[in-house]
Chains A and B, each alone.
Chain A
Amino acid sequence: KAGVTQTPRYLIKTRGQQVTLSCSPISGHRSVSWYQQTPGQGLQFLFEYFSETQRNKGNFPGRFSGRQFSNSRSEMNVSTLELGDSALYLCASQIDRVHEQFFGPGTRLTVL
């Protein structure tokens, strides 16, 4: 089975721009979670989608949003980028009722 894929792998943006990141989960996984990883804050939960609905949400501002499509692929969007948004954004997929999360390779976002 193919693993979780994320595109793009690297992205450079400037302050004020917006960005969209994409995640394709493992086939059959309907839950997709997003995390932000930074050296200072570690891994922080952004949100989780299941069957096209946001089921869980972390403590991030409204500039961070996401969605999930009927094929379980997910996108997250960050608007009005700030320098502090520079991070590795990780997507993880999960089979329903099984707790193990499978992470993708991440998208490294740099905001200049």
Chain B
Amino acid sequence: GQQVMQIPQYQHVQEGEDFTTYCNSSTTLSNIQWYKQRPGGHPVFLIQLVKSGEVKKQKRLTFQFGEAKKNSSLHITATQTTDVGTYFCAGPSGGSNYKLTFGKGTLLTVNP
């Protein structure tokens, strides 16, 4: 079945450093979504990318969808302690936008 791999599994940075997490799917995706889960919390939707090569920005966060629509990345510029959490990518599975396959996530910790 479809697999979604994310690297790295963990990333520890000093506040102010940049952070990037990468997501790779075994199949071409119609879209990719990113979620953030704070420690002890639940996943919260960040963004959806649909077009090949799409780049979207949300303040210090930059999301990219690969040309082949099989990979994606999330880059955070100048991390802050509020960025702490696990970042997940997720893609539709089995042709359904209501059945998501999640990557295992990247846990970001930030040292103040």
Contact = CB atoms under 8 A, between A and B. Distances in A.
Contacts of A44: 102
A55 B98 contact: yes
A45 B103 contact: no
A75 interface: no
B102 A42 contact: yes
A43 B43 contact: yes
B1 A45 contact: no
Interface in B66-112: 88, 90, 92-94, 96-105
Interface string A80-112: 000000000010101000011111111000000
A11 B44 CA distance: 23
A101 B48 contact: no
Interface of B: 1, 31, 33, 35, 41-45, 48, 88, 90, 92-94, 96-105
Closest 4 CB pairs of A and B: A56-B99, A43-B102, A42-B104, A103-B42
